[in-house]
Amino acid sequence: MPSNARERLLAAAERLFYEEGIRAVGVERILSESGVGRASFYRHFPSKDDLVVEVLRRRDAAWRTWLADTVRASPRGTGELPLALFDGLAERFAADDFRGCAFINTMVEEADPASPAHRVAAEHKQKVIEYLDGLLAAAGYRGHRDLAGQLALLGDGAIITALRERTPDAAPRARAVAEALLATADRGTAPQG
Amino acid sequence: MPSNARERLLAAAERLFYEEGIRAVGVERILSESGVGRASFYRHFPSKDDLVVEVLRRRDAAWRTWLADTVRASPRGTGELPLALFDGLAERFAADDFRGCAFINTMVEEADPASPAHRVAAEHKQKVIEYLDGLLAAAGYRGHRDLAGQLALLGDGAIITALRERTPDAAPRARAVAEALLATADRGTAPQG
DNA sequence: CAGAGATGGAACCGATCGGTACCAAACAGC
DNA sequence: GCTGTTTGGTACCGATCGGTTCCATCTCTG
């Protein structure tokens, strides 16, 4: 019942946009790689911009699900559970097709902060911060809100560094900073350690 | 004696590329905003790509000069002198036309790491790290090489965060992390504090 | 003032951009 | 088998892309 062509379009677009960039990939490429006809494309999406937004929405959901799964599967204790973010990033950085963060890339490519794609990308980062905030709050960190922003900042810095170096080295480097940060942070009546 | 048209082209291109993105700005825009004729453009630059590379080279030189000047003018002592990076970033983030880091943006837009523009952008970051390494070494930090990479990582994270938030708040937040990092770092026979 | 080099404007090129219209084949449910 | 929807293919649209060519003008130097 769910349209087959639509799924193929989204899958091809997500891959191509990430690998080569949103502006660098034309509709023609998406059609040929997905095997979908031109008319079918515009039956499912009013414009390329709408496809972009839909791709980002799905990737946002998938990415945060992946992060939650990674944290859930982490052997780390509650106190250092937020560091699981960097464990997960280390795996991502090692992937052959790693090309940074799709949402950072979108904010860069779609310069206008009011554009739908830019907004979805910015909101993604905000949701990740809120998730980290929850982890930090559960671990009893005071100032967990600020800490969450700093961990996200470290994660973004690691992603940019990995994009430049083309190695996974940035992940443990950022994690070391995060460890120093959490070590100096004040934990109140910590539920457990 | 230095070609006037060439300077105007570089100035207009630098501004437009930074404000709207490299791919988003066509040659026609650069011509109209610089007042340079089409033929003159291709007399000075074999292609748009060559203009892009030249713009990046100049911005690299200007940016690192700015950083060195900022550090030189900083009232901070030797031990915390590298933190002047974040003092400088704070000013940049507050600018109305702030749109992230031109070199990060280039690495994102020019996806191919072998492309000339991407390489120049990546090399810029490397040079900044080497400069920070010098500051840290002069301050007597052990492991100054790793520390330099971590400070640069924090800087990039701050830039991405500022791009998303559209406020200068990320600079002091990253600086706080850098302070915690330097505080836990081992200083050998420190020349002075 | 004369000559040479640099300049801006415009016409033009093939290719590609995002988007529309039409059509025949494949597919479903009844 | 018949009907109605979804599909892929193709031709086409105006606009813009990066790049070439030619020309008239302007400016600087001798």
Candidates B73, B181, B71; CA nearest to B131 is B71
What does the pLDDT read at residue B1? 44
Nearest to B100 by CA among A24, A166, A193, A108: A108
Q: What is the pLDDT of residue A22?
A: 98
3-state secondary structure of B179: helix
Q: Tokens 């470290």, residue?
A: A154
Alpha helices in A45-169 (DSSP H): 48-72, 84-94, 102-109, 116-138, 144-165
Contact A155, A86 (CB under 8 A): yes
The residues facing B187 across adjacent strands are B141
Is residue A81 within 8 A of residue A73, CB to CB? The reply is no
pLDDT > 90 in chain A, percent: 94
Shortest CA gap B79–chain A (Å)? 18
The one-letter amino acid code at B72 reads R
Question: How many angstroms away from the CA of B60 is the closest CA of chain A?
Answer: 16
pLDDT at A1 over 50: no
For the CA of B5 and the C1' of C1, the distance in angstroms is 27
Question: How big is the CA angle at A116 (ends A156 and A62), to the nearest 5 degrees?
Answer: 50
The answer to whether the C-beta of B105 is closer than 7 A to strand C is no
Q: What is the mean pLDDT of residues A166-185?
A: 97
Residue in this structure with the two tokens 């890339």, named with its chain if needed: A105
For residues A116 and A49, what is the distance between their CA atoms, to the nearest angstrom?
Answer: 8
**Residues B175, A181, A104, CA angle at the centre, nearest 5°?**
65
**CA B3 to C1' C3, whole Å:** 20
Find chain B residues with C-beta within 8 A of A111's C-beta: 19-21, 24, 99
> Which of A156, A159, A165 best probes binding to B when mutated, by most B CB atoms within 10 angstroms?
A156
Judge whether residue A38 contacts strand C, using its CB and a 7 Å cut-off: yes
Residue B113: which residues within 8 A CB-CB, separation 6 or more? A166, B107, B119, B122
Do the Cβ atoms of A161 and B158 come within 8 Å? no
Residue with tokens 């990737």: A59
Give 10-residue mean pLDDT values along chain B (193 residues). Answer: 84 98 98 97 97 98 98 98 98 98 98 98 98 98 97 98 98 98 85 52
Write phi, then psi, for B22 (nearest 5 degrees): -70, -50
Confirm or reject contact between B43 and chain A (CB < 8 A): no
Task: Supply the DSSP string of B18-83, one letter for each residue.
Answer: HHH-TTTS-HHHHHHHHT--HHHHHHH-SSHHHHHHHHHHHHHHHHHHHHHHHHHT----GGGGGG
Q: Which residues pair with A187 in a beta bridge?
A: A141
CA distance B174 to chain A (A): 7
pLDDT at residue B188, rounded to an integer: 79
For residue A149, CA distances in Å to A52, A53, A153, B168 come to 27, 25, 6, 14
When CB atoms are compared, the residue of B107, B150, B158 closest to A163 is: B107
Residue A188: per-residue pLDDT? 79
CA distance B193 to B190: 7
Tell me what pLDDT residue B186 has: 86
CB contacts of B161 in chain A (<8 Å) are 149, 152-153, 156
Q: Give pLDDT tens digits for A119-172.
A: 999 999 999 999 999 999 999 999 999 999 999 999 999 999 999 999 999 999
Nearest-CA distance A154 → chain B (Å) = 6
| A16 CA to centre of own chain | 16
Other CB atoms closer than 10 Å to residue A122's CB: what's the count?
Answer: 17
Q: How many helices and strands, by DSSP H and E, does chain A display?
A: 9, 0
Cβ-contact A153, B154 below 8 angstroms: yes
Confidence of residue A193 (pLDDT cuts 50, 70, 90): low
Question: What tokens appear for B185 in the block?
Answer: 């770092």
pLDDT value of residue B3:
73
Number of neighbouring beta carbons within 10 Å of residue B46? 9
pLDDT at A190: 53
Residues on chain B touching A183 (C-beta within 8 angstroms): 184
Which of B107, B150, B173 is opposite residue A146, by nearest beta carbon?
A: B173
Q: CA-CA distances (angstroms) from residue B165 to A121, A135, B123?
A: 12, 22, 27
Contact B160 A173 (CB under 8 A): no
Cβ contact B153–A149 (<8 Å): no
Q: Is residue B158 within 8 Å of residue B104, measured between CB atoms?
A: no
Q: How many CB atoms lie within 10 A of CB B111?
A: 17
Which residue of chain A comes nearest to B120, CA vs CA?
Answer: A164
Residues 146-185 of B with CB under 8 A from A: 146, 149-150, 152-161, 163-164, 166, 170, 173-174, 176-177, 180-181, 183-184
The model's pLDDT over A20-77, given as tens digits with 9 standing for 90+, comes to 999 999 999 999 999 999 999 999 999 999 999 999 999 999 999 999 999 999 999 9
